[in-house]
Amino acid sequence: MKSECQQTKMLHDKRGSLLLEVVISIGLAAIFFSASAGLLIIYKKSFQNTFTNQQVYSAAQQGVNALLSINFSDLTPIENGVLQYNNDTKQWNILYGDPEFITPNITRTVSISEVRRDNDCLIVTTGGETDIDSLYLSTEINWQNTKTEPKTLTSSTLATNWEDPQGNCFAPASSNISLNVSLANWGGAKQLRDVYIINDSSFPVTLTKMTLTWDNASQLQQIFGIGQKLWSDSGPGTPAGTQISGTEIDIIDAAIPANTIDYTHKIQFTSVMSGATLTISIEFSDGSVFTSEPFTPL
C-alpha cells in the first residue's frame, strides 16, 4: 500500500499537470486568436486595396472616355484640368480648378497636350512641328494605399481630328486623288479603257468601293484595276450579278502606292456603251469619296 506521503505527492503532480495543461491551452488559444486576428487584418487591408484599385481604374477609364467624347474643335491644351458633367447638355466640360475628389481618398485631374510630328508625319518627342490635328489626352489619378503610401496612375490616349483635318498628315485620301479620262475609250464597244487614277500624295491610299453612273440600259459586269480584278458579277466583291447604273460596288480593298498613276485596265459592261456619258465615284478606307466630272469616252 502507498503511504499517505506518496498519495499526497501524486495528487500534487496531477494538479500540477492539469494546471500546466490549462496554461498551455490558454497559450495556444491566444496564439490562435492572435494569428486569426492578424490574418483578418491582412485580409481586410488586401480587400481594401483591391476595392480601391478598382475605383482607381474605373476613374481613370471614365476620365479618358469623357475626354474622347468632347468634340476635337473644343479641345485645347491644358494642365491640371477638372472634368465637369453638364446634365442639361449631357456633355463633359473641362475647367480649371482643384483636383476632383472621386472619393475622399482618390483625386483626378486631366490634361491635354500638343503632339509633334516630323516631315514623315511620325510622332517625335523633340523637334518636328506641332500637329494641329492631334492631341494627347491624359487622366491622372492620385490616392493612398492602406499603408498611406502615395500612389499615381496616368492613363493617356491620342485624339485625332478625323472629321475635319486641317494639316497635311490627315488630309482625306480623296483630296490627293484625280482621274485622267482624256484618253478614255471603248474597247470592243463594251470595255472602258485608258482611265488613269492618280495618287499625288506621299502615302498609299486604299480603294474600298466604287459607284459608276451611265445613261443607257447596259449593265456593269466587271471592274479591273491596280493590277487585279476588283469586282465581277460572279465575284470577287459584292453585290453579285450584273448591276445597273448608280449601284454601289463593294470592291476588294486595293491600295495605290504613293505618287503613283494607276491604269484601270478595263471596266466591262454587258452591251454596247458607245456614246454613253459616265461618272466614276471612288470611296477610300478613310470614308472620303472622289467623284469625277461627267465624261464621254471616245
**pLDDT higher at 286 or 190:** 190
- In DSSP notation, the chain reads ---HHHHHHHHHHHHHHHHHHHHHHHHHHHHHHHHHHHHHHHHHHHHHHHHHHHHHHHHHHHHHHHHHHS-GGG---EEEEEEEEETTTTEEEEEESSPEEEETTEEEEEEEEEEEE-TTS-B-SSSSEEEEEEEEEEEEEEEE-TT--EEEEEEEEEEE--SS--SSTT--GGGGEEEE-TT-EEETTTEEE--EEEE-SSS-EEEEEEEEEESSS--EEEEEETTEEEEETTSSSBS-S-B-TT-EEEEEEEEEPTTEEEE--EEEESS--TT--EEEEEEETTS-EEEPPPB---
Whether residues 200 and 146 share a domain: the answer is no
Look at residue 270 and tell me if it is in a domain: yes
Look at residue 226 and tell me if it is in a domain: yes
pLDDT in tens, 140-162: 999 998 888 899 999 999 999 98
Whether residues 274 and 183 share a domain: the answer is yes
Q: How many domains does the chain have?
A: 2
Q: Residue 284 above 50 pLDDT?
A: yes
**pLDDT higher at 151 or 201:** 151
Mean pLDDT, range 236-250, rounded to an integer: 98
Whether residues 161 and 181 share a domain: the answer is no
Percent of the chain having pLDDT more than 90? 66
pTM given for the model: 0.54
- Structural domain including 135 reads 70-169
pLDDT band at 170 (very low <50, low <70, confident <90, very high): confident
Q: What is the mean pLDDT of the chain?
A: 86
pLDDT in tens, 76-133: 999 999 999 999 999 999 999 899 999 999 999 999 999 999 988 889 999 999 999 9
Whether residues 239 and 259 share a domain: the answer is yes
Out of 169, 200, 219, pick the residue that ends a domain.
169
pLDDT band at 73 (very low <50, low <70, confident <90, very high): very high
Look at residue 50 and tell me if it is in a domain: no
